[in-house]
A and B are shown apart, each in its own frame.
Chain A
Amino acid sequence: MNRFLWPLIGFIALLALLAVGLTLNPRDVPSPLVDKPAPSFSLPQLQAPAQTFSPKDMHGKVWLLNVWASWCVSCRQEHPVLVELAKQQVVPLIGLNYKEVRGDGGIDIDKLSPEREKQMVLERAGEWLRQHGDPYTLSAIDIDGRVGIDYGVYGVPETYVIDKNGIIRLKHTGPITPDVFSGKILPLLATLSK
């Protein structure tokens, strides 16, 4: 009896370990930025390119920063959720348009001048929002993805919840589904807004 008991226990332990492993999402990389101040930046606004946006402008408010691009397929999936969220005016939603032109594999960036690229960013991103609806209070444009690197962006869409003191409280990678919003983001917003 004892002879078979220990290998059996070992086997069950291994099985349990592997079963837990199966439920983990390897794409979900814990961000070191959570509970750290949101990196500062100053970027032109999509709808008013002469003006800039900086996270400092949102000081004193709880807000969401949503990284998006027109070439991003999953962004299309989460967009209706964002539009709905904007309608209900739950929380200010700032868009960060990430590498609109150079992120699109079909475009050879070396052939574009910086001015032309910026112009294309404004056209493409603007057109996309006109087509699908604009849930954003405003969108900042990160043409070369530098700000994205500071925020540790590695897979668009990504969403950050930032509190009144400018501290990142949550990072969600991947599209926001209604479940993620009501289960993860909304409760956090409620505690942060207190």
Chain B
Amino acid sequence: MRHWLTTLWLLLIVAGVHNLRAGEAMPLASDEVTEKRLVAIASELRCLVCQNESLAGSGAELANDLRREIRALIKEGKSDAEIMEFMVSRYGDFVRYRPPLKGSTLLLWFGPGLFLVGGLVALFLYLRRRQRALNDSPLTAEEEREASALLQEQDSRRGQS
């Protein structure tokens, strides 16, 4: 029992320290509106140092700088589009998690749709061919007679052996 309590205490202390560190990593600006916009914009942007993290969630040094820069731009009264433009003009479309629609990104945007349509067409063709194979035209009377003759012949051979 005592053991458990000590562990619990330790956990609480560790959690507390952790919270403090998290607070340090991303200082909050005084007003909440700015901060909300900052998070909204930064979530749309890629951190260039750790490429699979958003700018909002990254603790990298550069991400800190860029958040500071975005915060300053918000305070200057820049619109979201202007701030996006600021980032794209420096780091390219790569910083945007949602790439813009243009010539070089057509395949990126419509590729999955093309694959889906292609797959559906292939499936449809396959099913139709299969259906046709199954619904084979019925035997003519001539063919029927021939088939039963062959079968009978086989049966009689089997009877002999």
Binding site for B on A (CB under 8 A): 26-27, 29-33, 99, 102-103, 105, 144-146, 149-152, 154-155
Contacts and interface: CB of A to CB of B under 8 A. Distances in A.
A103 B91 contact: no
A26 B51 CA distance: 9
B61 A29 contact: no
Contacts of A30: 92, 94
Interface of B: 48-49, 51, 61-62, 65-66, 69, 88-94
Interface of A is mostly: loop
A30 B88 CA distance: 11
B75 to A, nearest CB: 15
29 contacts: A27-B51, A29-B48, A29-B91, A29-B92, A29-B94, A30-B92, A31-B91, A31-B92, A32-B88, A32-B89, A32-B90, A32-B91, A32-B92, A32-B93, A33-B90, A102-B61, A103-B61, A105-B61, A145-B65, A146-B69, A149-B65, A149-B66, A149-B69, A151-B90, A152-B90, A152-B91, A152-B92, A154-B48, A155-B49
A154 B49 contact: yes
Nearest to B93: A32
